[in-house]
Amino acid sequence: MAFISSGYNPEKPMQDRITDIGPQHFTKFLPPIIAKNKGAWDYHEIIEPGMLMHVGLSGDKVFTVRCGGARLMSITNIREICDIADKYCGGHLRFTTRNNIEFMVSTLEEAKALKADLNGRKHTAGSHKFPVGGTGAGVTNIVHTQGWVHCHTPATDASGTVKATMDVVFEEFTNMRLPAPVRISMACCLNMCGAVHCSDIAILGIHRKPPIIDNENLDNVCEVPLAVAACPTGAIRPTKIELGGKQVNTVAVKQERCMFCGNCYTMCPAMPLSDKDGDGIALMVGGKISNRITKPAFSKVVVPFIPNEPPRWPTLTKTIKKILDTYAKDAHKYERLGDWANRIGWERFFEKCELEFSHHLIDDFRDPAYYTWRQTTQFKF
């Protein structure tokens, strides 16, 4: 491994430095048919799962084949995607906002050949490389985070929980038989990077133990006021303690006020809190982003804790499947999961999905909590 210079000169770091050029203009990457009809599309159809057709006012048609991607992918995988795009699509492709991959062609025959090719490509161990689907009223890709692959604050893994879940709901990725689209998202801690707070079903990593305080090092590695200000419930205060015969500045955590959010650890490396037995997953449901019929809504916690069970998280995936199947059977056409739960009432949602209701699910965070209790005699037995 011999160092190969790119031309950068560490002796003169600011020499020839190019900055603030941003991304390239998107028009450099548009397929010709897209560039030609941009802003002049007439309508679209979903021909079959994973295959869209857009028709321009000009009469031009573009067929899109959408396939699943693992988001975490190797350059070998990207190069294979490029090979496919070179073979069928004149070297063009795109990624979606849910990390699926889309290939565009100009005839239905090409689209069908492409779909067959994509569905035929598998890893040697058996999983699809590019399963076609993700359109219409089904389950599409799971927006997710870094987990144990790259982050320092997770309470669970992202790639693993997502793979385990998508395997269990895979039939819904390649079909369009639900009342409405179901968006599943995943975040490995409650920073909620991504879309967990606004998804039909959301997988969220949570802790259940207060931080461990590294008193010996805290004052050297943390800005104490920032750690104090990081706590949503005011559980942290600065303090001095006696350690090895000398007085050190540190913090104290009032454990009964701590709800294990981990935000103090984000600010202060001397307050780690991950724990094999304490950590796990909370399940949320009923969020949406679109303004279609009903307003956008936050997801709500319906299962306060499911233990981490790597590598396949069977309790988690079983619970998700149960909620999904109950919704699919019971909801009206066009009704998102949250709209269904609101219509039947949350007491009925818990009954139908056979979920236990515990006090953990009753909001107790500041003033707004009151508005989530029930100020009416309207309820169902």
Partner 1 sequence: MAKHKTPLLDQLESGPWPSFVSDIKQEIEHRYANPKGVDYQVPAECPDDLLGLLELSYVDGETHWKHGGIVGVFGYGGGVIGRYCDQPQKFPGVAHFHTIRVAQPSGMFYTTEFLRQLCDLWELRGSGLTNMHGATGDIVLIGTSTPQLEEVFHELTHKMNNDLGGSGSNLRTPACCLGESRCEYACYDTQELCYQLTQEYQDELHRPAFPYKFKFKFDGCPNGCVAAIARSDMSFLGTWRDEIRVDQKTVAAYVGGEIAPNAGAHAGRDWGKFDIQKEVVDLCPSGCMRYENGKLEINDKECVRCMHCICVMPRALKIGNDRGCSILIGAKAPILDGPQMGSLTIPFIKVEEPYDEIKEFIESVWDWWMEEGKNRERIGETLKRLGFAKLLEVTGIKADPRHVQEPRHNPYIFWKEEDVKGGWQREISDYRVKHQR
The answer to whether 15 contacts partner 1 (rule: CB under 8 A) is: no
Report the candidate in 200, 207, 205, 108 with the shortest Cα–Cα distance to residue 158: 205
Strand partners, 240: 249
Report the nearest approach of partner 1 to the CB of residue 194 (Å).
4
The answer to whether 195 contacts partner 1 (rule: CB under 8 A) is: yes
Strand partners, 307: 280
Number of Cβ atoms within 10 Å of the Cβ of 314: 11
**Residue written as tokens 């994973």?**
50
Binding mask 99-118 for partner 1 (x = CB under 8 A): x-x--x--------------
State which of residues 23, 59, 244, 245 lies at the interface with partner 1 (CB under 8 A): 23
State which of residues 25, 246, 359, 380 lies at the interface with partner 1 (CB under 8 A): 25
State which of residues 242, 256, 277, 356 lies at the interface with partner 1 (CB under 8 A): 277
- Residues 230-269 touching partner 1, rule: CB under 8 A, are 230, 232, 261, 263, 265, 269
Report the nearest approach of partner 1 to the CB of residue 357 (Å).
22
The answer to whether 140 contacts partner 1 (rule: CB under 8 A) is: no
State which of residues 107, 127, 217, 372 lies at the interface with partner 1 (CB under 8 A): 127
**Is 294 within 8 Å of 288 (Cβ atoms)?**
yes
> Between 48 and 351, whose beta carbon lies closer to partner 1?
48
> Between 97 and 377, whose beta carbon lies closer to partner 1?
97
Per-position DSSP letters for 136-173, written without gaps between them: SSSB---B---GGGT-SS-SS-HHHHHHHHHHHTHHHH
- In a 3-state reduction of DSSP, which class is residue 185? strand
Report the candidate in 43, 49, 66, 67 with the shortest Cα–Cα distance to residue 138: 49
The answer to whether 164 contacts partner 1 (rule: CB under 8 A) is: yes
The answer to whether 201 contacts partner 1 (rule: CB under 8 A) is: no
> Between 240 and 293, whose beta carbon lies closer to partner 1?
293
Number of Cβ atoms within 10 Å of the Cβ of 233: 14
- In the chain, the largest separation of any two C-alpha atoms, in whole Å, equals 83
- Residues 32-91 touching partner 1, rule: CB under 8 A, are 34, 38-39, 41-49, 54, 62, 64, 68-79, 81-82, 85-86, 91
Token pair, residue 333, equals 């056409």
Angle (CA) 347 350 351, round 5° = 85
The answer to whether 10 contacts partner 1 (rule: CB under 8 A) is: yes
Report the nearest approach of partner 1 to the CB of residue 245 (Å).
28
State which of residues 114, 184, 250, 279 lies at the interface with partner 1 (CB under 8 A): 279
**CA gap 325, 168 in Å, rounded:** 12
Report the nearest approach of partner 1 to the CB of residue 21 (Å).
5
Binding mask 284-323 for partner 1 (x = CB under 8 A): -----xxxxxx-x-x---------x-xxx-----------
Stretches 196-204, 235-243, 319-327, 340-348: which one binds partner 1 (CB under 8 A)? 196-204
Stretches 107-115, 192-200, 244-252, 347-355: which one binds partner 1 (CB under 8 A)? 192-200
Stretches 238-246, 250-258, 319-327, 362-370: which one binds partner 1 (CB under 8 A)? 362-370
- Residues 335-354 touching partner 1, rule: CB under 8 A, are none
Report the candidate in 119, 121, 120, 82 with the shortest Cα–Cα distance to residue 103: 82
Sheet containing 280-285: order of strands: 184-187, 201-206, 280-285, 300-307
Query: According to DSSP H, which parts of 242-313 are helical?
Result: 263-267
**Is 187 within 8 Å of 147 (Cβ atoms)?**
no
**CA gap 359, 101 in Å, rounded:** 42
The answer to whether 191 contacts partner 1 (rule: CB under 8 A) is: yes
Strand partners, 267: none
> Between 232 and 347, whose beta carbon lies closer to partner 1?
232
Residues that contact partner 1, how many (by CB under 8 A): 145
| DSSP state letter for 332 | P
